[in-house]
Amino acid sequence: MSLDVIDRQIIQATQAGLPLVTEPYQAVAEQLGLTTEDVMQRMQAMQDNGVIRRIAAVPNHYKIGYRFNGMTVWDVDDQQVDMLGRRVAELSFVSHCYQRPRHLPEWPYNLFAMVHGKTEQDAEQQAAIIAELLGDSSCQHQVLYSTKILKKTGLRIAG
């Protein structure tokens, strides 16, 4: 997954969003002094090698009514975390699922799954479904709701 200078320029030029014009990739190409074909081929290559996960109209979950954003955190057996993480990620209401390090004793959780509900009850139900899936493999868990979004921007890399 090696990126050259031009790949990075394309990411920098598009990560905050493509322009809303009839030919957005051409607009990016003109800005960078490339051809449209070049921009599109490089974006396709970055999709093929996994740097670009997808090209998307990214919804703002909060604004379309998913007000309850819950970070569910689980203390799962290390031997099983990969297998279980993949199963949790398959749930339709889970948007992100990651393994992260524990910080004992104050933070015993190693599996994180983000859920989004229109009501707190929805989010709790989603957490309950994850709890059922994990069963005895998870010894403890918590759901951390966000009470305030203090800052939210897309990924930014230095220019």
Partner 1 sequence: MLAPLHKHLLNDYQQDFPLSPTPYRDIADQLGVSEDEVLAAFKSLSEQHMISRIGPVIAPNSIGCSALVAMAVPEADLARVAEQISEYPEVNHNYERENRFNLWFVAVADDEHQLQQVIADIEIKTGYTAMLLPMLADYFINLGFELNLHD
Alpha-carbon distances of 59 from 14, 30, 41, 56, rounded to whole Å: 16, 27, 26, 9
Q: By rule CB under 8 A, what string of x and - marks binding of each residue 45-84 to partner 1? A: -xx--xxxxxxxxxxxx-xxx---x-x---------xx--
Handedness of CA 65, 96, 144, 73 (dihedral sign): positive
Interactions with partner 1, residue window 96-155 (CB under 8 A): 96-101, 103, 106-107, 112, 116, 118, 142, 144-155
Which of residues 98 and 121 has its CB atom nearest to partner 1 in the complex? 98
Nearer to partner 1, 103 or 135 (CB): 103
Site string for partner 1, 27-46 (x = CB under 8 A): ---------x---x--xx-x
CA distance 68 to 72: 12
Structure tokens at 19: 């322009």
Look at the block and give the residue holding tokens 């490339």: 34
The token pair at 145 is 């709701």
For residues 7 to 26, the per-residue mask of contacts with partner 1, x marking binding by CB under 8 A and - elsewhere, is: -x--x--xxxxx-xxxxxxx
Lookup: tokens for 62:
């909060």
Give the count of residues interacting with partner 1 (CB under 8 A): 77
Please check whether residue 66 is in contact with residue 116, taking contact to mean a CB–CB distance below 8 angstroms.
Answer: yes
What's the min distance (Å) between Cβ of 124 and partner 1?
13
